[in-house]
Amino acid sequence: MSFAKFEPRKFLLSLFQAAVDAASAGICVPPNLPPAPAGRTIVVGAGKAAAAMAKAVEDHWQGPLSGMVITRYGHGAPTRSVEVVEAGHPVPDEAGQAAAARMLQSVQNLTPEDLVLALISGGGSSLFALPAHGLTLSDKQAVTRALLASGAPIADINCVRKHLSAVKGGRLALAAQPAAVASLIISDVPGDDPAIVASGPTVPDPTTREQALVILQSYKIAIPRAVDAWLRNPASETPKPADPAFARVQSRVVFRARDALAAAAQKIEAQGFSVIDLGDAVQGEAREVAREHAQLALAYAREGRACVLLSGGETTVTVRAKGRGGPNSEYLLALAIALEGRPGIWAIACDTDGIDGTETNAGAIVAPDTLARARQRGADAKAALAGNDAYGFFQALGDLVETGPTRTNVNDLRAILIGADSALTA
C-alpha cells in the first residue's frame, strides 16, 4: 500500500463541497413533491435556492405548471414554465418589490381545486419585499440595513420584517384562499422553524407587533416615523397559528443544516478523524464564538486528538468599522488570533450559499502559518479584526474560498481540523 501526503486545505474544501452537494435542490425537492391537484398548480417562491427548486419541480412534475420565483442576483437557473426574477439581497430593492406584488396577485382568485406550491429558502425575507400599507421600500431598506449592522439574530430580524410586510408572516397563504398551499422549505435558520425561514410567507406567525417594537428598541434602531406608527397600529399584526385560514396549508422542511453536517461528518470519518459535533444551531457574535471554539480546539490538541470540530448555524457581526467581511471570515480571523499559530490546526468556515455576508467569497481557510504569513506581508490581524476587515486580511493571503452562487442555502459550515500534521491518505 502506498501513502500520499495528506492535504488539509483540500480536505477542508471537500467537506464544504459535500455539505453543499447534499443540499442540492435537485436531490431534496423531488421526493417531497405533493400530488398534482385537480385544478391548476401555481408555483411561487423566494430565496437563494428558489430558482434551483423551481427547476427541480419542473423536471419532476406531472402536469402543467405556471408561476414565478424570486432569487438573488446571480442565483438564477434555467426554467421553462416558472419565471425566475432576480432581485436585491440582503437589502430589498425595486425588482423584489415589483415581483412580490405580481406574485401576490397571482395567487388571488383561485379555487379549492387549485394548488399553490411555495418554494421557500433562506434569503427570501429580503427578496420577497412588499411593504405593508402606508410604508415605502425606503422605510424597509432603512430598517433592514440597521438590523443587519446591529448583530441581531435572524429570528429577531425576521420578526420585524414580518410585521412590516404585506406578504410575509403567513399573509401570502391567506391571499391564496381557498386554494390548497404546500410549502417545500430548505432551512437556513437555527432550529429549522418554518415560520422564520424567509419570514414564513405561508406559515402562521407566533410573534407579535409588540415584540417587533421591543426588538427595534433593544438594538437602538432609529426607525422612520411611518414604521413606528404602523407597528403601533393593530392592523400590523400577523395571522396566528389558530387562524382557520391555515387549515389547507401544509409545510415541509425538505433539507436542514443538520443534513449538511451529516454529509460532511461522513467524509470526516472516512478519512479516519473523529467528529466532535458542536451542533447545527450555533449562534452569537462571530468573534466570540471563534474564541470559544479556539479554546476547545486547543484543549483537544493538547490531548493529542485527531478530530474535527464540526458546527453549523449562523453567527452575526456587529459592524464597528468600515472594513469588508462577513461573519464566516470574521469568525476565522478571530479564531486565527486565538489559536496563535498552533501547529496541526486548520479551519474552514463558509456560508453554504457561496456568499459570506455581502462579499464575493463563501468564507476562508485558516492554516497554522496564517498569522506568520500575514506578518511577512505587514498585515496586523488584530487591527483587521478591529476594523471589520477580515475579507481584506484573507484576500491578501490568498486564503478566501470563492465558489460563486451555490443555489442552495443551509447556513454556515465550520470545521476545525486538529491533528492534521499526522494524517495520511491511503
41: left (phi over 0), alpha (psi -120 to 50) or beta: beta
Task: Please write the tens of the pLDDT for every residue from 3-42.
Answer: 468 999 999 999 999 999 999 999 999 999 999 999 999 9
> Same structural domain for residues 237 and 288?
no
> Same structural domain for residues 150 and 276?
no
In a domain, 27, yes or no: no
pLDDT for 426 beyond 50: no
Cell 407597528 maps to which residue? 231
Average pLDDT over residues 64-90: 96
C-alpha to C-alpha distance for 305 and 274, rounded to whole angstroms: 8
Q: Which domain-ending residue is among 230, 255, 280?
A: 255
Cell 424597509 maps to which residue? 140
> Same structural domain for residues 244 and 297?
no
Percent of the chain topping pLDDT 90: 93
> Same structural domain for residues 320 and 361?
yes
In a domain, 373, yes or no: yes
Task: Please write the tens of the pLDDT for every residue from 384-411.
Answer: 999 999 999 999 999 999 999 999 999 9
> Same structural domain for residues 374 and 413?
yes
DSSP letters, 400-417, are EE-----S----EEEEEE
In a domain, 326, yes or no: yes
Cut 0.85: pTM above it = yes
In a domain, 366, yes or no: yes
Number of structural domains the chain divides into: 2
> Same structural domain for residues 291 and 312?
yes
CATH code (residue 62): 3.40.50.10180
C-alpha to C-alpha distance for 301 and 285, rounded to whole angstroms: 24
In a domain, 110, yes or no: yes
Task: Please write the tens of the pLDDT for every residue from 319-367.
Answer: 888 889 999 999 999 999 999 999 999 999 999 999 998 899 999 999 9
> Same structural domain for residues 215 and 332?
no
Instruction: Please report, to the nearest 10 degrees, the dihedral formed by the alpha carbons of residues 121, 246, 101, 231 taken in order.
Output: -90
In a domain, 291, yes or no: yes
pLDDT for 421 beyond 80: no
Task: Please write the tens of the pLDDT for every residue from 171-189.
Answer: 999 999 999 999 999 999 8
Percent of the chain topping pLDDT 70: 98
pLDDT for 208 beyond 90: yes
CA–CA distance from 25 to each of 14, 18, 82, 96, 406 (Å)? Answer: 19, 14, 15, 22, 10
> Same structural domain for residues 217 and 310?
no
> Same structural domain for residues 171 and 227?
yes
The whole-number pLDDT of residue 89 equals 94
Q: Which domain-ending residue is among 233, 255, 277?
A: 255
In a domain, 28, yes or no: no
pLDDT for 170 beyond 80: yes
> Same structural domain for residues 273 and 233?
no
Domain span at residue 56 reads 33-255
CATH code (residue 318): 3.40.1480.10
> Same structural domain for residues 8 and 60?
no
* DSSP for residue 179: S
The whole-number pLDDT of residue 1 equals 29
pLDDT-derived band at 425, boundaries 50, 70, 90: very low
Helices (H) and strands (E) in the chain, counts: 16, 16
> Same structural domain for residues 65 and 154?
yes
pLDDT for 2 beyond 60: no
Q: Which domain-ending residue is among 204, 223, 255?
A: 255
In a domain, 283, yes or no: yes
Return the minimum-mean-pLDDT range out of 147-156, 233-242, 381-390: 147-156
DSSP letters, 48-92, are TTHHHHHHHHHHH--S--EEEEEEETT-----SSEEEEEE-SSS-
55: left (phi over 0), alpha (psi -120 to 50) or beta: alpha
